[in-house]
Amino acid sequence: MTTQEAPFRRVLIANRGEIAVRIIRACREMGMEAVAVYSDADAEAAHVRLADRAVRIGPAAPSESYLRIDAVIEAARATGSEAIHPGYGFLAERAAFARAAEEAGIVFVGPSSDAIEQLGDKLHARRLAARVGVPSVPGTLEPAPVDHPDRVAELIATAREVGFPLLVKAAAGGGGRGMRRVVREEDLAAALVAGSRESLSAFGDGSVYLEREILPARHIEVQLLADHHGRVVALGERDCSLQRRHQKLVEEAPAPGLTEEQRRHLHLLAVTMGAAAGLRNAATCEFLHDPEGNFWFLEVNTRLQVEHGVTEMVSGIDIVREQFRIAAGLGLSDEVLAAGERAALPASHAIEVRISAEDPARAFAPTPGRVGRWVMPGGPGIRIDTHIEPGDRIPPDYDNLIAKLMVHAHDRDAAIDRLRRALDETEIGGVQTTLPFHRLVASSTAFREGRLSTGWVEEYWDGDAARAAAVRRALAAAGLASVLAEAAPAGMRASEALPWDGGSRPAGHNGWRNGGRAQGVDRWPS
Amino acid sequence: MAELTPNHGEASPDATPDRLQEPDAGAVRARLGALSRVGDEPALRVALAAEPLRMTNPTVGRGPLGGAAVAPAQAAAATGVLAQRQTLLDGAPCDVSLRLLGGERYVLVEGDAAHRVILEAEGPGDGGARSREVLVGGFRFVVETESERTASLRERASRGRAASAHSGPLQVKAIIPGKVVAVSVAAGDTVTAGQQLLVVEAMKMQNELRSPRDGTVERVGVAVGVKIEIGDLLVVIS
């Protein structure tokens, strides 16, 4: 029994992992049946177990399953699904997918296929921004001539206007693919060719353009919701500056250190872009924020973001629920409009860390495998979005994200304290995860002071040092346990030979507060 | 092979800092399992000092394990002995101790810092070692432990094999840390395979080091009373 009429009777979720679970939860709460799709690698995955029905759509490889538009549309048709929620990634920003759904008479939970197509072309988005007076990152508005020796002089002249160092970026790009950094004029032509080739193979479109590199910069984005009546509301902004190879690691809402005036200005820029693009449903407008205080438009993401949860916590709005309402033709709710009014004066703070199966001491290399111990934190202000249970296998075929740990508190300091506490409660075995990095963030003075930039990871994360300290502790602990077990009287278990920690830790310290790296490294006797 | 002369049980109350550094017979070698290792990361030798810490002397006896930890009745007997002995890491006394929280959860106390550690159940590892997963600071490693005695005997055997297949000057290096208590040869001496070269006291035992092959002593790198570490050059035989 639900309190409102369900916007749809049955919904297909064209995704997997934590986001599929997140969307299924919304379906449950709204009284809608959830249909999962799955590849052979996910036959027993959480989203399949949670859904009311599940349809196999192909083998493990994404290109043969989750990226197959025909298979997903057919699954929706066969199950009588009235709507498709694409989640993020996979087909979420493929205009062709939205169009195929529209043509099949199935509601696509997201912007129109036209809006996805236009905003998916970054050059189009940049031209649109120029038309409505939203400042884009300085650069070009048309595709650069690639491999045209006769136009090199012209190209160099343009590049000088943009300014070095600059970035070659893919018009169809995302996730840093097709991107090249160019410091010297003489490297420009080669970078264009390489970037264009990479973009062509990744996106089927080799168009590239030039953009000034803004460094240092913060990555700040605005969450938008828009309805069929052309109303666009900014729910607030997020700071996603902590990135590694253009993959976000930590996100927070609101962006620390902005004034109310800056927030209003930023939100207005985003709403202007959304309105100009004819946006509907949920989208995110991304900006770079330079030390002079400028906001430079980057791109619009026409989908639910991974990090939408922190905005939900601060705004009080269930974004996925609103997506379904909007998709069913309902206007923005009073709650959303009120949240939009409050967005420039946020009253609380939320932080998300992305726990991924990656080794932060080995350049964040993926670590697929089987999860062993799996203990997630709880208590006030904690939200965990995950699809993982102990013993689950993390397939090598998909994204490495295994859990999003979100904390919410009345202000940023309290949120950081809560994050530290939550990370101390978190125990993951079987595969290496990004937890050590997140522990550094939570105990970092620079982070606490709001010194954020897209270069933060390179500046503050020393994976080798963190690992070396942890290795020594692991060896000492395992060795001591073994020594004590050997030395214990016959018949006594190792654990019994150890002094039980009955609450008497060294004065003024305890095991939960001193888990951080800063103290540990310095205190190890040399 | 060297004769191993057990020499433990001689703990005397007048322990000096030097004696504290001598490894105990129960020493354990802990190293990362092959899948957790990056490059050639070294093992850590973990032992308890032979002497109980004297709590009256704060400079020697100060150690978290010597504190007033409350132990379950069952463990009282063991902790009475073990908790008062200082941890030796690679032979050096360290203010490091391990406390049980419950289940697989422990606290590694390191000076006045404390780290939560999870030691999962042990299973068989490579070549007779015991293997377990260890979680600390968000990292997870597979750690293998075996007794120092087993590890060094195995190493010595494999080194001996390698040495006999080798011609030219042979460097005899320390495979265990300890103190040289006797030197039986001098430069220029002719030695035969199996002849005693020197005696190293380690792990409270006298370890005779014998020549791996026939030859002439080219150089002796150590003298009586010298403390040696793993890898130190002891004798060169040509």
The verdict on A168 and A268 lying in the same domain is no
A491 Cβ contact list (under 8 Å, min separation 6): none
Whether residue A17 lies inside any domain: the answer is yes
Would an 8 Å CB–CB cutoff place B142 in contact with chain A?
no
- Cross-chain CB nearest to B31 (options A429, A435, A475): A475
Quick check: A305 and A284 in contact, CB under 8 A?
yes
Helix (H) or strand (E) segment spanning residue A464? helix A463-487
The verdict on A158 and A88 lying in the same domain is no
Domain end call among A463, A483, A518: A463
Q: Is pLDDT at A295 greater than 80 in this prediction?
A: yes
Q: DSSP string spanning A25-72?
A: HHHHHTT-EEEEEEEGGGTT-HHHHHSSEEEEEE-SSGGGTTT-HHHH
Q: Which pLDDT band, with edges at 50, 70 and 90, does A242 fall under?
A: very high
**Amino acid A176: pLDDT:** 81
Q: Which long-range contacts (CB under 8 A, 24 or more apart) does B10-15 make?
A: B10/B204, B11/B50, B11/B51, B11/B52, B12/B51, B13/B54, B15/B49, B15/B50, B15/B51, B15/B54, B15/B60
- Cross-chain CB nearest to B110 (options A372, A507, A524): A524
Whether residue B38 lies inside any domain: the answer is yes
- Which chain B residues are closer than 8 Å to A357 by Cβ? none
* B139 to chain A, closest Cα gap in Å: 6
Of A32-36, A102-106, A170-174, B73-77, the poorest mean pLDDT is in: B73-77
**Amino acid B228: pLDDT:** 78
Q: Which of A308-322, A358-372, A502-516, B36-50 has the highest mean pLDDT?
A: A308-322
Q: Is pLDDT at A519 greater than 70 in this prediction?
A: no
Nearest alpha-carbon partner for A498 in A512, A511, A481 = A481
The verdict on B10 and B78 lying in the same domain is yes
Of A80-89, A368-377, A456-465, B25-34, the poorest mean pLDDT is in: B25-34
**Amino acid A505: pLDDT:** 42
Whether residue B158 lies inside any domain: the answer is no
Q: How many CB atoms lie within 10 A of CB B12?
A: 9
Would an 8 Å CB–CB cutoff place B106 in contact with chain A?
yes
A432 bridge partner residues: none
Whether residue A206 lies inside any domain: the answer is yes
Q: Which pLDDT band, with edges at 50, 70 and 90, does A513 fall under?
A: very low
Would an 8 Å CB–CB cutoff place B173 in contact with chain A?
no
Q: Across residues A256-283, what is the average pLDDT?
A: 97
Q: Is pLDDT at B204 greater than 50 in this prediction?
A: no
The verdict on A207 and A257 lying in the same domain is no
* Three-class SS state of A124: helix
Would an 8 Å CB–CB cutoff place B110 in contact with chain A?
yes
What is the 3-state secondary structure of chain B?
CCCEEECCCCCCCCCCHHHHCCCCCCCEEEEECCCCCCCCCCCEEEEEEEEECCCCCHHHHCCHHHCCCCCCHHHHHHHHHHCCEEEEECCEEECEEEEEEECCEEEEEECCEEEEEEECCCEECHHHCEEEEEEECCEEEEEEEEEHHHHHHHHHHHHHHHHHCCCCCEEEECCCCEEEEEECCCCCCEECCCCEEEEEEECCEEEEEECCCCEEEEEECCCCCCEECCCCEEEEEC
Would an 8 Å CB–CB cutoff place B92 in contact with chain A?
yes
Whether residue A128 lies inside any domain: the answer is no
Longest Cα–Cα distance of chain B, Å, equals 61
**Residue in B with minimal Cα distance to A495:** B100
Please indicate whether, in this complex, the C-beta atoms of A429 and B140 are within 8 angstroms of each other.
yes
Please indicate whether, in this complex, the C-beta atoms of A497 and B78 are within 8 angstroms of each other.
yes
Residue with tokens 């052309």: A230
Query: Between A168 and B233, whose confidence is greater?
Result: A168
Q: Across residues A286-304, what is the average pLDDT?
A: 97
Arithmetic mean of pLDDT over chain A: 91
Q: Which of A329-333, A508-512, A521-525, B102-106 has the highest mean pLDDT?
A: A329-333
Whether residue B160 lies inside any domain: the answer is no
Q: Across residues B4-18, what is the average pLDDT?
A: 37
Whether residue A526 lies inside any domain: the answer is no
* A492 to chain B, closest Cα gap in Å: 8
* Three-class SS state of A173: coil
Please indicate whether, in this complex, the C-beta atoms of A473 and B110 are within 8 angstroms of each other.
yes
* B20 to chain A, closest Cα gap in Å: 16
* φ, ψ of residue A75 in degrees (nearest 5): -60, -40
The verdict on B36 and B117 lying in the same domain is yes
Query: Between B58 and B154, whose confidence is greater?
Result: B154
Query: What is chain B's Cα-based Rg?
Result: 20
**Amino acid A3: pLDDT:** 57
The verdict on B176 and B62 lying in the same domain is no
- Amino acid identity at A466: A
Domain end call among B101, B117, B146: B146
Global ipTM: 0.90
Q: How many CB atoms lie within 10 A of CB A56?
A: 16
CATH code for the domain of A188: 3.30.1490.20
The verdict on B61 and B95 lying in the same domain is yes
pLDDT digits (tens, 9 = 90+) for B84-131: 678 999 989 999 999 888 889 999 998 889 999 999 999 988 778 899
Would an 8 Å CB–CB cutoff place B96 in contact with chain A?
yes
Q: Is pLDDT at B72 greater than 50 in this prediction?
A: no
CA angle A25, A27, A31 (to 5 degrees): 120
Q: Which domain does B171 fall in, by range? A: 166-237
Q: Is pLDDT at A518 greater than 50 in this prediction?
A: no
Interface test with A, best of B131, B140, B204 (most A CBs within 10 A): B140
- Cross-chain CB nearest to A432 (options B41, B65, B139): B139
Q: Is pLDDT at B55 greater than 70 in this prediction?
A: no
Q: Which domain does A170 fall in, by range? A: 138-212
The verdict on B180 and B217 lying in the same domain is yes
Please indicate whether, in this complex, the C-beta atoms of B114 and A430 are within 8 angstroms of each other.
no
What is the 3-state secondary structure of A128-160?
HHHHCCCCECCECCCCCCCCCHHHHHHHHHHHH
Q: Which pLDDT band, with edges at 50, 70 and 90, does A352 fall under?
A: very high
Q: Is pLDDT at B171 greater than 70 in this prediction?
A: yes
Question: Domains in chain B: how many in total?
Answer: 2
The verdict on A227 and A79 lying in the same domain is no
**Amino acid A115: pLDDT:** 96
Residue A100 tokens, joined: 């195929």
Q: Which long-range contacts (CB under 8 A, 24 or more apart) does B52-60 make?
A: B52/B11, B52/B81, B52/B84, B52/B85, B53/B84, B53/B85, B53/B86, B54/B13, B54/B15, B55/B84, B60/B15, B60/B17, B60/B20
Please indicate whether, in this complex, the C-beta atoms of B72 and A500 are within 8 angstroms of each other.
yes
pLDDT digits (tens, 9 = 90+) for A120-165: 999 999 999 999 999 999 999 999 988 888 888 888 999 999 999 9
Question: Domains in chain A: how many in total?
Answer: 3
Domain end call among B146, B180, B209: B146
- Which chain B residues are closer than 8 Å to A508 by Cβ? 112
Q: Which pLDDT band, with edges at 50, 70 and 90, does B83 fall under?
A: low
- Which chain A residues are closer than 8 Å to B82 by Cβ? 484, 487-488, 497
pLDDT digits (tens, 9 = 90+) for A38-92: 999 999 999 999 999 999 999 999 999 999 999 999 999 999 999 999 999 999 9
The verdict on A158 and A72 lying in the same domain is no
Of A48-52, A513-517, B132-136, the poorest mean pLDDT is in: A513-517
The verdict on A403 and A326 lying in the same domain is yes
- Cross-chain CB nearest to A372 (options B45, B67, B133): B133
Domain end call among A212, A237, A264: A212
**Residue in A with minimal Cα distance to B131:** A478
Of A165-169, B67-71, B189-193, the poorest mean pLDDT is in: B67-71
Whether residue A481 lies inside any domain: the answer is no
Count of pairs with CB atoms under 8 A, one residue in A, one in B: 236
User: What sign results for the dihedral spanned by CA atoms B53, B56, B60, B65?
Assistant: positive
Whether residue B178 lies inside any domain: the answer is yes
- Amino acid identity at A74: E
**Amino acid A446: pLDDT:** 97
- Cross-chain CB nearest to A479 (options B46, B81, B107): B46
The verdict on A367 and A257 lying in the same domain is yes
Whether residue B161 lies inside any domain: the answer is no
Pairing mode, if any, of strands A365-366 and A295-301?
Answer: unpaired
Q: Is pLDDT at A336 greater than 50 in this prediction?
A: yes
Whether residue B196 lies inside any domain: the answer is yes
**Amino acid B160: pLDDT:** 64
pLDDT digits (tens, 9 = 90+) for A387-436: 999 999 998 889 999 999 999 999 999 999 999 999 999 999 999 999 99
Quick check: A240 and A457 in contact, CB under 8 A?
no
Residue A224 tokens, joined: 């938008």
Residue A184 tokens, joined: 């010297």
Domain end call among A212, A245, A269: A212
Longest Cα–Cα distance of chain A, Å, equals 85
Whether residue A133 lies inside any domain: the answer is no
CATH code for the domain of B227: 2.40.50.100
Whether residue A27 lies inside any domain: the answer is yes
Nearest alpha-carbon partner for A98 in A113, A115, A81, A110 = A113
Query: What end-to-end distance do the CA atoms of chain B give, in Å?
Result: 20
Q: Across residues B36-50, what is the average pLDDT?
A: 87
CA A280/CA B3 separation, integer angstroms: 84
Region label for A110, one of left (φ > 0), alpha (ψ between -120 and 50) or beta (otherwise): left
CA A484/CA A123 separation, integer angstroms: 66
- Which chain B residues are closer than 8 Å to A434 by Cβ? 138
Whether residue B152 lies inside any domain: the answer is no
Quick check: B33 and B126 in contact, CB under 8 A?
yes
CATH code for the domain of A94: 3.40.50.20
Would an 8 Å CB–CB cutoff place A49 in contact with chain B?
no
- Which chain B residues are closer than 8 Å to A498 by Cβ? 75, 79, 98-100, 106
Whether residue A494 lies inside any domain: the answer is no
DSSP state of A14: -
A303 among known catalytic residues? yes
The verdict on B16 and B52 lying in the same domain is yes
* Three-class SS state of A423: helix
**Amino acid A218: pLDDT:** 97
Please indicate whether, in this complex, the C-beta atoms of A423 and B138 are within 8 angstroms of each other.
yes
* Three-class SS state of A161: helix
Q: Is pLDDT at A514 greater than 70 in this prediction?
A: no
Nearest alpha-carbon partner for A91 in A306, A303, A327, A325 = A303
Would an 8 Å CB–CB cutoff place B114 in contact with chain A?
yes
The verdict on A84 and A162 lying in the same domain is no
Q: Across residues A222-241, what is the average pLDDT?
A: 97
**Amino acid B176: pLDDT:** 59
* A24 to chain B, closest Cα gap in Å: 30
CA A193/CA A150 separation, integer angstroms: 15
Burial A70-85 (b: 16+ CB within 10 A, else e): ebbbebbeebebbbbb
The verdict on B41 and B123 lying in the same domain is yes
Q: Which of residues 259-278 of A touch B (CB under 8 A)?
A: none
Interface test with B, best of A435, A438, A483 (most B CBs within 10 A): A483
- Amino acid identity at A494: A
Which member of A180, A212, A244, A303 is catalytic?
A303
The verdict on A250 and A341 lying in the same domain is yes
The verdict on B33 and B139 lying in the same domain is yes
**Amino acid A485: pLDDT:** 83
Quick check: A28 and A5 in contact, CB under 8 A?
no
Would an 8 Å CB–CB cutoff place A433 in contact with chain B?
yes
* φ, ψ of residue A329 in degrees (nearest 5): 95, 5
**Amino acid A201: pLDDT:** 87
pLDDT digits (tens, 9 = 90+) for B205-221: 566 777 877 888 888 88
The verdict on A322 and A419 lying in the same domain is yes
The verdict on A104 and A230 lying in the same domain is no
CA A85/CA A34 separation, integer angstroms: 10
- Amino acid identity at A330: L
Q: Which of residues 34-63 of B touch A (CB under 8 A)?
A: 38, 41, 43-48
**Amino acid B138: pLDDT:** 98
CA B101/CA B81 separation, integer angstroms: 20
The verdict on A276 and A385 lying in the same domain is yes
Whether residue B9 lies inside any domain: the answer is yes
